[in-house]
Structure 1
């Protein structure tokens, strides 16, 4: 493989300018270094602080211009220096080779300043005035800087230069530019001298994409295609042979009878990086659409535009079929479920597994061994697609979805339009779960994914569970339960679009607790009012949980009265402990499908409707009156015209 890039041809999507800020003690050679780099001459005199200096795009091979910012070391210029540091893409820290105390200050002050200001950019340490260093000073740059670089990991490179003799002056800003365009940190762990996990995962995906015959090796033809794609130049047969020999000498398993293996491919990139040729690996990554965080660039993830807040995203049948194939491919023991190791391998070409943290962790049903079945796997994707469609699409691509990305996601119809049409064609429904504390909300979410009932109350951070339900017509519907904590409801409803993403809302209360019923009815009223105010009214169900406990005497009548008043279905009584669920989850899906029904009404809403009706009637009467007046006027004019004719 080549170790170079195309000069003067920056890769699309990459920055066009690098801003380098130079700081250091007074007299350490900052301004002379900058002036010598710009003019290629040593200046006889130089201003204390130079204005911004520009090196044009053709100055260095990457075709990216550099802006160099000089700074003041004085106390008066401290605020300006801090401001410039915060805007830096890279920082050059200077010390004077003839003044060891400036090197000490670099550690005790300047690096500490960079850290204090939380400037997270590459740092280049530069020893200026190399020509003035005492010849009796025996320490080499490596001896001086190795312990400092070990202590301060933000230091990317160290270099010594002489502006007076024009020694290694352009190299200073080349290394600064290179540290920004081709950073080490995302790719390589300096301490362990190994490729970082994200880098390995990205390179593995690239290797698989280039292995067209899928024999787990890159043959000579595939290697050549890879070379042309990344570096616009073919490899000659002797060069390919040379690459293989280098690999085979160091890692015999890196080459087999078919060609270069993944082990060999990764070894080559580690070798390039160790030799300082990071641009080779970065060129490869960027040619395959990766950004500096080793994620796919956003422009390579074309999520369809969602026109309205009450629309949602779902996977298409093409994407679902692809995922079914991926599931089967990684179900190595063919037991119809993925173990954690199999799931980890499935996501080994993505930056990381997307489901190891909230809200995805533990959100789906697993079998008795803790493995995830196909229905749970697809449900997890449905949840990720609804909550973060860009992430869902990106991960489909990481896994090898090669069709047009536009074929992977669909945008649903507006729910307000579904209500008018009195039906929904969605495959995925989101249910918001409201209710007071200790009502049984978390237990309901857990039961939905098959987790056993717990007698003692446990505070749960689980806000989502998702599962697929077999439809009566032979299809499947996916239901997402999203718990809204009682103390979050006020803040949640403060947004105008809070209910736009909700297909159905349920209100869970402890049927043995009078206060619980009262509080649930208040929450129902709050949600109903918000829906009437915003136009995002949602079907609502009242859920009487803990039906195995004794109710207070008026419980049933009180709850029925609330439902009658709000014009919704009578309370659905369930006992999670007694496993009497009363077909609750299908009833939730049914309410979401029949989206025009079970939308609660408040007195406020009824008054609002009555007011609109009166206004509409008034407008109708006014228009009828206006029409009558027009007709009468026309009749009068016709009469007057006839009369004038007869008179003449």
Structure 2
């Protein structure tokens, strides 16, 4: 790998120069721009531009000078917050200015939350006398250990034009080819996300899938990344370097993954970060070592009441991936196998909420094929771009249009009285203690627990529901905490993604029923106002407890008033779910049924009906009048002719 670089799409690098008074900031900038030493410089220079062709990356550098006066602190802070990189100066002939780096400046950057690379520059190297001679590496090593934001250190002389251009080259390079995402200086090793990206690139280039890059594959890789082939002698040289340092880096078939990673670590250690960055960027990665957004464009314009689902093609791909990584062929992906599957993604996508506890797990924490596909269905529903990205990371290369399908609008589904969806999202409402969490756990087949904890955050549960005729649908339950209802329903589109709303209440508690009824009213009104009306089901949970005397009559009346089905009685504790999940799916499949109506909604409906009838009557009368007038005119014309 010979090298070369890509800038990552930047069109300019903004470098802010700061430091104590009289450390040589302005002289350094002037010398870099004019290649001459200025005898006199103003207190603060205007912005200075170094042309694009000055450095190999062909990206111009804008240098911002700053004042060291106390009155200018606010202005300096503003400039620092707009910086891509900072050049922090000290004077080689004034040791006190070097001390100020750690007693003031570097802590000030942290206070201001400046998170850009810092280049520490010793100016006036020509003025340092033998008394102040020092070993820069020895002095700066502990400082760089403490302040990881320091990218590099350099000393220069503006008067003698020594290492002046290099100062801003290092600053530009730190922005265009940053070290931090790639390499951990403490462990002297590539960072995990960098390893994962390079592993994916290695697999993509290993066309014959023999776990090694042969000479032809190495050459193709070189041409793709650096637009130049490797000569046979160069390929031999690359492999010899690897084999000498790391024997397992090369085998009879070619360069192994271990050798490929070793080469990149070697480039970085030698300061050739642009080589690794060029490789990453050629394969579509950004500065965070994730695929760029323009590689994840979803070619659909989605309305609020539409969703994205995986196509059958993508599902078949995932089934194949599951089979490949299920190395012991037990029908379960253990955690180690799952880690291996996602080892070419920036990280495992299901380690945090909402995915972590959203599916059924085996006793040892593994995923069945059904649970694996359910996680993908949930991710596609909630974060389609993330789902697409992870499909690409694990080897899917057929594009977004073949991976995702856009569902029909729900307004169309209601008119057609059916839906074409395979994944349904059900919002689960209910007061505290009504059994919402238990309902979610029962979808995942988890045992009932007497331990109760108030739900404060949204939770998801997803599983496959078997339907009559052998079909399967994926059901997503989203638990809505009682205290979050108002916030969640605060926007017009809040119910657009909801296929069914379930209202759970404790059938032994009169207040619980009353509160569930109020929540149903809130959701029904939101649906009527927004136009995103959803089927609703009333669920009498904890049916194993004694209900209060009027419970059945009261709940039936509530359902009757709203025009929805009678309550569904369930007991999670006794595992009597009364076909609950099938009934939810049935409601989703018939979006025109079980839609609640409020008295206000009925009145508005009657009013619209009367207005429509009045308009129709007026139109008919007007039409009759027009016809009558036309007939009269015809008659009058004939009469005049006969006269």
Q: TM-score range by the shorter chain?
A: over 0.9
- Residue equivalent to 1:590: 586
Is 1:557 matched up with 2:556?
A: no
Q: CA RMSD in A?
A: 1.2
Is 1:58 matched up with 2:53?
A: yes
- Residue equivalent to 2:317: 322
Count of matched residue pairs = 642
Deviates more, 1:129-138 or 1:625-634: 625-634
Once the two structures are superposed, the pairs formed by residues 4-15 of structure 1 within 5 Å of their partners are 4-5=4-5, 10=6, 14-15=9-10
User: Aligned partners of 1:607 and 1:316: how far apart in 2?
Assistant: 43
Is 1:45 matched up with 2:40?
A: yes
Q: Which runs of 5+ in 1 are unaligned?
A: none
Q: Which runs of 5+ in 2 are unaligned?
A: none
Is 1:456 matched up with 2:465?
A: no
What does the per-residue CA deviation read over 1:527-573, in whole Å, with 9 as the maximum and x for residues that have no partner? 01100000000000000000111111111111111111111111000
- Residue equivalent to 2:182: 187
User: Aligned partners of 1:150 and 1:445: how far apart in 2?
Assistant: 49
User: Aligned partners of 2:41 and 2:313: how far apart in 1?
Assistant: 66
1:473: how far off? 2.5
1:501 aligned to 497, 500, 509, which one?
497
- Residue equivalent to 1:347: 342
What does the per-residue CA deviation read over 1:214-239, in whole Å, with 9 as the maximum and x for residues that have no partner? 00011111111111110111111111
1:27: how far off? 0.8
1:432: how far off? 0.2
- Residue equivalent to 2:167: 172
- Residue equivalent to 1:523: 519
Q: Secondary structure at the match of 2:469?
A: coil
User: Aligned partners of 1:79 and 1:645: how far apart in 2?
Assistant: 97
Q: Secondary structure at the match of 2:390?
A: helix
User: Aligned partners of 1:307 and 1:97: how far apart in 2?
Assistant: 61
- TM-score, normalization by structure 2: 0.98
Is 1:580 matched up with 2:582?
A: no
- Residue equivalent to 1:492: 488
User: Aligned partners of 1:289 and 1:407: how far apart in 2?
Assistant: 20
Given that 1:90 and 1:176 are in contact with CA atoms closer than 8 Å, whether structure 2 keeps it comes out as yes
Q: Secondary structure at the match of 1:289?
A: coil
User: Aligned partners of 2:400 and 2:207: how far apart in 1?
Assistant: 20
1:486: how far off? 0.4
User: Aligned partners of 1:139 and 1:169: how far apart in 2?
Assistant: 20
What does the per-residue CA deviation read over 1:30-68, in whole Å, with 9 as the maximum and x for residues that have no partner? 111111111111112211111111112111101111111
Given that 1:442 and 1:462 are in contact with CA atoms closer than 8 Å, whether structure 2 keeps it comes out as no
Once the two structures are superposed, the pairs formed by residues 10-409 of structure 1 within 5 Å of their partners are 10=6, 14-409=9-404
1:644: how far off? 4.1
What does the per-residue CA deviation read over 1:124-171, in whole Å, with 9 as the maximum and x for residues that have no partner? 001111111112323121122111111111000100111111111110
Deviates more, 1:392-401 or 1:101-110: 101-110
What does the per-residue CA deviation read over 1:323-377, in whole Å, with 9 as the maximum and x for residues that have no partner? 0000000001100001111101110000000001000001101123321100000
What does the per-residue CA deviation read over 1:304-330, in whole Å, with 9 as the maximum and x for residues that have no partner? 323310000100011101100000000
Given that 1:302 and 1:406 are in contact with CA atoms closer than 8 Å, whether structure 2 keeps it comes out as no
1:536 aligned to 532, 540, 556, which one?
532
Given that 2:458 and 2:480 are in contact with CA atoms closer than 8 Å, whether structure 1 keeps it comes out as no
User: Aligned partners of 2:499 and 2:299: how far apart in 1?
Assistant: 21
1:620: how far off? 1.1
1:643: how far off? 4.5
Given that 1:544 and 1:574 are in contact with CA atoms closer than 8 Å, whether structure 2 keeps it comes out as yes
1:297: how far off? 0.2
- Residue equivalent to 1:615: 611
What does the per-residue CA deviation read over 1:242-300, in whole Å, with 9 as the maximum and x for residues that have no partner? 11111111111111111110100111101110111100100000000000000000000
User: Aligned partners of 1:376 and 1:347: how far apart in 2?
Assistant: 16
Given that 1:98 and 1:130 are in contact with CA atoms closer than 8 Å, whether structure 2 keeps it comes out as yes
User: Aligned partners of 1:387 and 1:532: how far apart in 2?
Assistant: 25
Q: Secondary structure at the match of 1:77?
A: helix
Given that 1:36 and 1:166 are in contact with CA atoms closer than 8 Å, whether structure 2 keeps it comes out as yes
1:462: how far off? 6.3
Deviates more, 1:474-483 or 1:375-384: 474-483
1:456: how far off? 2.4
Given that 1:304 and 1:409 are in contact with CA atoms closer than 8 Å, whether structure 2 keeps it comes out as no
User: Aligned partners of 2:458 and 2:488: how far apart in 1?
Assistant: 17
Q: Secondary structure at the match of 2:21?
A: coil
User: Aligned partners of 1:146 and 1:475: how far apart in 2?
Assistant: 65
1:634 aligned to 630, 634, 639, which one?
630
1:524: how far off? 0.5
1:636: how far off? 3.6
- Residue equivalent to 1:429: 424
Given that 1:363 and 1:462 are in contact with CA atoms closer than 8 Å, whether structure 2 keeps it comes out as no
1:604: how far off? 0.8
- Residue equivalent to 2:413: 418
Given that 2:424 and 2:474 are in contact with CA atoms closer than 8 Å, whether structure 1 keeps it comes out as yes
User: Aligned partners of 1:226 and 1:352: how far apart in 2?
Assistant: 25
Given that 2:299 and 2:400 are in contact with CA atoms closer than 8 Å, whether structure 1 keeps it comes out as no
